[in-house]
Each structure stands twice: as structure tokens, then as C-alpha cells.
Structure 1
Amino acid sequence: MRPILHGDVTAAARVLLIAPREDRDRLCARMICEAELADKHVGQTGRLHPLFGNGSLMAAARNRQLAEEPSFDNLQYCQCFELVLRHLIERQLTRTHS
């Protein structure tokens, strides 16, 4: 996956915000997986992945409907933002220990 920027996290959190709560964890993992697949494809072919884009989390997220971006006084948005960060931290820890 390409380097993660603030916009990647906000885009993913906005997708999660409109998803049912029970689907958010799985959906977050799926978007990260799609970004990783796309990045690998770009590296191998030099072309965008036909479904998942350029390998960024933002591109994977933007394949879905995004909620309007709320402020951080929206508790559900904060929870979605935190979920994305937790997944990214876990991914980094897993890669570091492999």
C-alpha cells in the first residue's frame, strides 16, 4: 500500500461512517487489502489497478459512497477514524514482527 496520509484515513472513516456498525471492521480490513493489491499491481505493471486504483487507501475508499466529512465532535466519526488507525497500526505491527 502507498504511504498513508491524513486524507486516506479520513476517506476510509467516511466510508465506515455510513456502513452498518457490525460491518465496519470487515469493511475496513477489505479496503486496506484492496489498497495493498492495487499497489502490488501498480508495481508489477506500471498501471492502475482496474478496480482499486493507484494503491492508496483513499483510492480504495473512493470506490464506495462516502459520508460528508463531519467534524471531530461527531462521536461516530471519531470511532470510525479510530478503527481505521487501529487497523493500520495492527498492519504495521504485523509487518514489523514478520
Structure 2
Amino acid sequence: MRPVLPGDISAAARALLPVPPAQRRQLAARLLREAHAADCYRKRFKKAHAMWGNGTLMAAALKRPTGREPRLDDQEYLECQSIVFNALQVRNKWKRTP
């Protein structure tokens, strides 16, 4: 997966908003897997993956329905952002484990 920027977090959180709360963690993990797979595809074939984009979390997220970006004090949006950050932390810990 390509480096994660603030826009990636926003896009991923917006992709989680329409999903029932009980399914959001699973979708966040899936978005990370799709971004990683798309990045591998991009490196190998020198083009973006048709379904998951160019290897950014934003590209993977924006392939799903998203609404406009809510205000930063919107509680549900904050919870979705927290889920995305948590998924990134889990991924980073897994990557560092020998």
C-alpha cells in the first residue's frame, strides 16, 4: 500500500459511514487489503487496478459509495476515522512482527 495521507483517512472514513456499525471494522481491514493488492498490481503491471485503484487507501475507498465529508465534530464520522486509524495500527504492528 502506498503511504497514507490525511485524504486517505477521510475517504476511508466516508466509505465506512453508510455501512452498519457492526461491519465497519471488517470493511476497514478489507480496504487496507485492497489498497495493498492494488499497489502490488500497480508495481507489477505499471497501471492502476481496475477495481481497487492505484494502491492508495483513498482509491480503494472511493470505489464504494461515500457521502460528502461531514464536519470534524460529527460523532459518527469521528468513530469511523478512529476505526480507520485502528486498522492502520493493527496493520503496522503486523508488518513489524518478524
1:56 aligns with 2:60: no
Shift of 1:73: 1.3
1:76 aligns with 2:81: no
Q: In the TM superposition, what whole-angstrom CA distance separates every residue of 1:5-59 from its partner, at most 9, and x where no partner exists?
A: 0000000000111111111111111111100000000111111111111000000
Aligned length: 98
Structure 1, unpaired ranges of 5+: none
1:42 aligns with 2:42: yes
| TM-score, normalised relative to structure 1 | 0.96
Q: What corresponds to 1:17 in structure 2?
A: 17
Q: What corresponds to 2:85 in structure 1?
A: 85
Distance 1:92 1:64 in 2: 24
1:96 aligns with 2:93: no
Question: Letter of the aligned partner of 1:5 in structure 2?
Answer: L
The percent identity for this pair of structures is 40
Distance 2:67 2:86 in 1: 20
Most deviating of 44-53 and 77-86: 44-53
Instruction: Compute the RMSD of aligned alpha carbons.
Output: 0.8
Stretches (4+) displaced over 6 A: none
Shift of 1:93: 1.1
Secondary structure of the equivalent of 1:18? coil
Distance 2:73 2:65 in 1: 22
